[in-house]
Chain A
Amino acid sequence: MSIQFKSIVDLRAMLDEGSISASELTQESLKLAKKYKELNCFVTMNEELSAKKANAIDLNEKDSSWLSGIPLAQKDLFCTEGLRTTCSSKILSNFIPPYSATAVKKLEDAGSITVGKTNMDEFAMGSSNETSFFGNVHNPWKKGYVPGGSSGGSAAAVAAGIVPAATGTDTGGSIRQPAAHCGITGLKPTYGRISRWGMIAFASSLDQAGPLARTAEDCAILLNTMSGHDSKDTTSLNSDVPDFLENINQPIDGLKIGIIKEFNLGDLDPQVQALFEESKKNYEALGAQFIEISLPNISASVPTYYSIAPAECSSNLSRFDGVRFGHRAENTNDLNDLYIKSRSEGFGDEVKRRILIGTYALSAGYYDAYYKKAQQVRRLIKNDFDHAFQSVDVLMTPTSPNAAFKFGSKGAQNPVELYLEDLFTISSNLAGLPAISIPHGQINSLPAGLQLIGNFLREDQILNAAHIFQKNSDHHQARPNLGDF
């Protein structure tokens, strides 16, 4: 029986009724990964260990908890003990971590099976998965098109039905935008909801792990397991973790949805606009009310983000120096030469660009004008959201201003073109708020995503709104034709 395109809920039922074993499931998943190798979703496969674990699960007493025996893929930014972790960078192309990220460990402790590590933009810096040292990932919907980024490999692996779900990380839209471009569901939780221990840092104050899956329900299952305070990450929140499945099916009658005035949706591609209007109608039919609301500072989100994120990245990436791990240049004269050559050879252009921007933004004489100012604006944006959530329950935007595009068609001349991909997603990272992207139709046969932003720690509300939408529509069930791969 094929397992391709099955959700976690489907696979759980199959495992429980005994129509498939964990071992068979894992082997099927590994086979699909091989079959669609050309998609280039994976950087490293975990064949041996995953087979061993699946076998152990089959031999153990029957365990019907959600994730037992379920194959998952991990973004190659999470450290996995004994399994190569590269961040899709040459500088870490030989790095095998001695420990696992808390998020991965929790998923594995819950019985899930890591079948492989997924391709991504190098160090999560990019919105098209084109900055990976290991090559582009194809969008399963159309060969030669980007899957979005940075969690492009995870999104493509789920969209192609290789795994029912995968982990991703989201610093400015890196879960939601690829989820939108690949026609799947992706959730960025509240900052601090999931431990960052073992996640290779891009921008510490913005990075957040989260799930990519076929449905909101599956996202809730993963979120239940991944969440919670971790003493190893002092920025992880010490708040109770509710059962995100419990209220997911509540009617959304009377739900107040805010539309952000400053996003000027009228200026968008008419097709993006049309889909958005249609989704609005669908939500209205489900009992939601729409309110236009002003977030006066939100238009400053992109420049604010591109001051803060590179600044933190320039410091976070200093440890990749060729001294203790990772790529080390040969034939160097002295310590400085070792740094310069190892880093010049090890990092790609986009990473270098951001390190340079960040180094500049933190320099003496520029700190106040860039980094400090950006942090002040960030606070204003956060206040705008706080204010908005006094009158609405969730905010709704398109996830991306456009659908997936051709390899090499954006940002080659002007990187800012690509930075604008994150126009709608970046502000929730700046404010630390949860947000989800769900498929809501297609533009020229390519999927488009709808974003719901929730209030602080209110993943339950956006999951509920997303699930009710999915119960009443079939956009999330559309499957790509993988004949070209």
Chain B
Amino acid sequence: MSWETVIGLETHVQLSTKTKLFSRASTAFGASPNTNVNLIDCGLPGVLPSVNKEAFYKAIRFGMAVGAQINQTSLFDRKNYFYADLPKGYQITQMDLPIVLGGSIEIISDDSAKTINITRAHLEEDAGKSIHDEFEGFSAIDLNRAGTPLLEIVSEPEISSAKEAVAYMKAMHQLVTYLDVSDGNMAQGSLRCDANVSIRKKGEKELGTRTEIKNINSFKFIEKAINFEIKRQIKILENGEKVTQETRLYDSSKDETRPMRSKEFANDYRYFPEPDLLPVIISDEEIQKIRDEFPELPRDKETRYQEEFGLSVYDAQIIASSKSMADFFETALQKTKNYSLLSNWLIGEISAYLNKEQIEIHESKLTPDIVAVLINRIDDQTISGKIGKSIFEEMCTNGSSPDEIIKSQGLEQISDDGAIEEIIMTVINENPAQVEAYLAGKDKLFGFFVGQVMKLTEGKANPNTVNSILKDKLK
């Protein structure tokens, strides 16, 4: 029998505001436990929330980028449940009137484009963290994350494979980082998703019973978790059984999903309008300001790179695909004029290195400054491209400047005609037999002479100069 998969994703994007959604405590990642916490975040008796408009601006920027309707009057609701890392016993979220309604995002999977519609995106506060394995006999609570603004983006159930789900999350990652809405750091939980997965017979209209896989935080896990779940559900259906609607967790160490204990999700959240907050109204002027300051998106950058710097379509696409790469490129361009050499290096050596290390360019030791210097030294023939590649390795390890490496290791290219001529004469004089054979028509030996010159100069002789002088001398 032929089956069809239907997936809807709920993406949680941690917004990169300096302070929390309802308090002025810092949102910085990695602080000591319970230090980015104020009276409001720990839900002391008598405290009240007050809204951080910056979070709204970021949410609106996202909404504009996906062509959504922006609700300029926004209401908050309380979602009530008890958990130790939820200080107030309720989460402030948006139920009835989300800030962003509708919109769509284009994904590219297996080289073909597809549009996924977005149902809504709403603002809410994140919970703290419960730590169960660090203290013998105790659970610990870290409230640093409590109150961090989240944008929950709900997609329509239009995704039809694990691969498409990954493509959707990649598109989402690109968008939110480009918009400076979030740092998009999945390892730190800034971007994570819940996947609603169901299976139906091909051609059927009605949706099958779905399960929800909670809190997946890497592209790899999204693919694995969904694929596991698809196989599991198909097996159930093929055995003539029924899928149970439930919430499941993906365990990456076992590569499987399993149900959460029923207590963990069998909640009646008793939503009701948050009485501590008035409706938040965004003025037309604020909307206009967001529009005026709208950042350049990947598509616009691609076009501009082709027009302004003469990059090929392919090169422009690769550089513009990631915000950090594009930023790097544009900053380096302030220090070098050789656009094409710079883009070759970014797409070639540098991308290869980043792929190998599995890091983004801003996480490496490379800076636009030192890469621009490297390009300039190759461009002005201080060093050859080959020497450039060996210097690059050291730049990656130590972040040191190419000029320092060239100086300390004496790698400067020898372009002086007199010096090169002297070395060439030595080679010719020391190899009379080869000279005779070459002059007798054995052209291939030309490479031998070049090799000898390079050997004596430790590769520093300018190859063009060597070629022309050598040709002249061997006439």
Contact = CB atoms under 8 A, between A and B. Distances in A.
B7 to A, nearest CB: 26
Contacts of B89: 315, 317-319, 321
Contacts of A231: 50
A325 interface: yes
Contact of B50 (A203, A234, A312, A318): A234
Interface string A62-97: 000000000000000011000001010000100101
A359 interface: yes
A177 B46 CA distance: 24
B43 A197 contact: no
Interface residues on A, range: 35 or more
A232 B48 contact: yes
Contacts of B272: 311-312, 315, 362, 367, 371
A234 B45 contact: no
A233 B141 CA distance: 27
Given A95-B45, A364-B268, A234 B82 contact: no
Nearest to B43: A319
Nearest to A312: B275
B46 A234 contact: no
Interface in B245-279: 263, 268, 270-272, 275-278
A294 interface: no
Contacts of B88: 318-319
Contacts of A201: 45-46, 276
A97 B275 contact: no
B51 interface: yes
Contacts of A214: none
Interface residues of B, number: 31
A97 B78 contact: no
Contacts of B44: 79, 97-99, 324-325
B82 A321 contact: yes
A387 to B, nearest CB: 24
A197 B48 contact: yes
B287 interface: no
B237 interface: no
B80 interface: yes
Q: Which of A235, A319, A371 has the most CB of B within 10 A?
A: A319
B45 A92 contact: yes
Interface in A289-323: 311-312, 314-315, 317-321, 323
A458 to B, nearest CB: 21
Contacts of A199: 46
Contact of A205 (B42, B80, B82, B275): B275
A235 B141 CA distance: 31
A359 B278 CA distance: 23
Contacts of A314: 80, 270
B208 to A, nearest CB: 24
Given A97-B46, A318-B90, A234 B277 contact: yes
A339 B276 contact: no
A204 interface: yes
Majority DSSP secondary structure for residues of B touching A: loop
A85 B44 CA distance: 12
A319 B275 contact: no
Interface in B13-70: 39, 42-51
A203 B272 CA distance: 13
A230 to B, nearest CB: 9
Given A321-B82, A324-B87, A101 B270 contact: no
A318 B88 CA distance: 6
Nearest to B277: A234
Nearest to B279: A234
Nearest to B139: A335
B460 to A, nearest CB: 67
B45 A318 contact: no
A200 interface: yes
B84 interface: yes
A200 B80 CA distance: 18
Contacts of A78: 46
Interface string A325-368: 10000000001100100000000000000000001001110010
B270 A362 contact: yes
A315 B270 contact: yes
Given A315-B89, A315-B90, A321-B82, A196 B48 contact: yes
A87 B45 contact: yes
A198 interface: yes
Contacts of A362: 80, 270-272
A114 to B, nearest CB: 16
Contacts of A339: 82
A317 B276 CA distance: 14
Nearest to A205: B275
Contact of A235 (B47, B84, B278): B278
Nearest to A91: B45
A336 B276 CA distance: 27
Interface string A365-396: 00100010000000000000000000000000
B268 to A, nearest CB: 5
Given A315-B89, A319-B43, A363-B268, A233 B78 contact: no
Interface in B177-228: none
A99 B51 CA distance: 20
A205 B278 CA distance: 10
A85 B278 contact: no
Contacts of B263: 336
A235 to B, nearest CB: 6
A318 B275 contact: no
A335 B46 contact: no
A63 B187 CA distance: 60
Contacts of B48: 196-197, 232-235
Contacts of A311: 272
Chain A CB count within 10 A is highest, among B39, B46, B83, for B46
Nearest to B88: A319
Nearest to A192: B278
Given A87-B45, A315-B89, A318-B89, A359 B50 contact: no
Interface in A190-228: 196-201, 203-205
A369 to B, nearest CB: 13
A79 B45 contact: yes
A418 B141 CA distance: 42
A319 B45 contact: yes
Contacts of B84: 321, 323, 335
A476 B422 CA distance: 118
Interface string B65-103: 000000000000010101110011110000000000000
A371 B43 CA distance: 24
B46 A198 contact: yes
A324 B88 CA distance: 10
Nearest to B45: A200
A359 B81 CA distance: 11
Contacts of B139: 335
B211 to A, nearest CB: 21
Contact of A97 (B43, B45, B50, B87): B45
B45 A98 contact: no
B46 A197 contact: yes
Nearest to B267: A364
Given A97-B46, A319-B87, 7 more contacts: A78-B46, A200-B46, A205-B275, A234-B49, A234-B50, A312-B272, A315-B270
20 contacts: A95-B45, A97-B45, A98-B39, A101-B46, A197-B48, A233-B48, A233-B50, A234-B50, A234-B277, A234-B278, A315-B270, A317-B89, A319-B87, A319-B88, A324-B42, A324-B44, A335-B84, A362-B270, A362-B271, A367-B272
Ranked nearest first, the 8 interchain pairs of A and B with the lowest CB-CB distance are A318-B89, A362-B270, A204-B275, A205-B275, A198-B46, A200-B45, A79-B46, A319-B43
Interface of B: 39, 42-51, 78, 80, 82-84, 87-90, 139, 141, 263, 268, 270-272, 275-278
